Amino acid sequence: MADSRIDIKRVESRKHRKLFLDLPYRLHQADPNWRAPLRFERAAQIDPKKNPAAKPITYQFFLAYKDGQLAGRIAAFVNAAHDAHYKDNIGFFGYLDSVADSQVTLELLQAAENWLTSQGRSKICGPAQWSVNEECGLLIDGFDTPPAVMMPYGRPDYQNVIERCGYSKVVDMYAYMSDLHAGYPRSKIIQALVKYADKSSSLSWRKLDMKNFVQDIEIAMDIFNDAWSENWGFIPFSQEQILHTAKEMKPILVHDAFWIGYIDDRPVAYVCMIPDINEATKGFDGRLLPLNWAKLLWRLKVRKIKRLRLPLMGLRREWHNTRKGVALTTKICELAYAGGRDNGYTHCELSWILEDNEGMKAICDQAQAKHYKTYRMYEKSLN
């Protein structure tokens, strides 16, 4: 029997771009744990006119054909925002999807490596979709449950193929699942921190102010840029990205689960939970038209979804490992949990959390959250 022929082609036309975007929906449609992202959102993500995070990106998309049939895709890209922050000459790969054929995946990775070498890059890292501020990491554990909103999905065989290509682990990121009703009464440590916060005259907090929504998002993102500035892969949100984030989050935010904390009247901490829209769009195949938009509204407003995701929280670095900072963070997290319960939510995914972030892992443990998914970032020298 003759070997299959695999051809790798650059995406250079509108037709090929559509094929690039549509491929995951065809590949994963039979997987019961696949949650199809909204197609218009996927198209907007790679469009610099609609997504500020795509503006500093120089990229090349590739499609793989096996015996003439579309069989995979990958993106290779350079992020100028990453370059400005790290000056490390790294390129990236992402948007990796392929049929269950290791040779297809291998040749897609080779195409990405070759392109990045042509761009003068000395190392490749991934998978990521533009940066760590969007979807990133390869799912390596936790395939038995669906992904939460804005979290990646994939097949178990990708890990073996990537590692066979000479890629090595950079870092693992964890996702935890928390039952909003579990773990009560809280531990003595949590109770003591909350009591301290309640009695301290220098600590205060408030919910998101919808009348000053953009300003509150700016406050939260300013805290984020400081709080996470020393974390692996961090790239600060630009002002344009902050405003874009505010616009995207406004329709879905749970007002009672977004809190800002103050020390001496200065905002230093925040916590933000969002509904897991993946639960509401199940079965849509990524489409809202012609009638899925009505189903979505019904599921959000009438049936209600039960799961949240906590994608963003932070405490300014100067207050890390201080009694006031930890007490304030604990207090607003407890308020966010209560806000989630009051709005009918039962569970919340806490993600993603770096494997060496002992502080965040301790918060998850105190909330009796269970580590249930692992995502991995890889790298490989191109020299």
Q: Is 98 left (phi over 0), alpha (psi -120 to 50) or beta?
A: beta
Closest CA to 234 of 314, 292, 350, 160: 314
Count other Cβ atoms within 10 Å, centred on residue 144.
9
Average pLDDT, the chain: 94
The confidence band for 303, taking pLDDT boundaries of 50, 70 and 90, is confident
**Cα Rg, the chain, nearest whole Å:** 21
| Annotation: CATH topology of 181-345 | Aminopeptidase (3.40.630)
Q: State the pLDDT confidence band at 2, using cuts at 50, 70 and 90.
A: low
Segments in the chain forming alpha helices (H): 14-28, 39-45, 80-86, 102-118, 157-164, 188-199, 213-227, 239-249, 277-280, 292-298, 323-342, 358-366
Domain 6-173: which CATH number of 2.40.50.140, 1.10.10.10, 3.40.630.30, 3.40.30.10: 3.40.630.30
Q: What is the pTM of this model?
A: 0.94
Taking alpha carbons only, the member of 339, 340, 327, 315 closest to residue 366 is 327
- The SS3 call for residue 258 is strand
Q: List the domain boundaries for the chain.
A: 6-173, 181-345
CB atoms within 10 A of CB 360: 16
Q: Kindly tell me if the per-residue pLDDT of 84 is higher than 80.
A: yes
Q: Name the packing angle between helices 188-199 and 323-342 (round to 10°).
A: 100
Residue type for 382, please?
L
User: Would you say residue 352 has pLDDT above 70?
Assistant: yes
Q: What angle do CA 5, 10, 16 make, to 5 degrees?
A: 95
Judge contact between 79 and 99, C-beta under 8 A. Answer: no
- Per-residue pLDDT of 217-228, as tens digits, reads 999 999 999 999
Asked if the model's pLDDT at residue 208 lies above 70, the reply is: yes
Q: Is 371 exposed, middle or buried (0-12, 13-18, 19+ CB in 10 A)?
A: middle
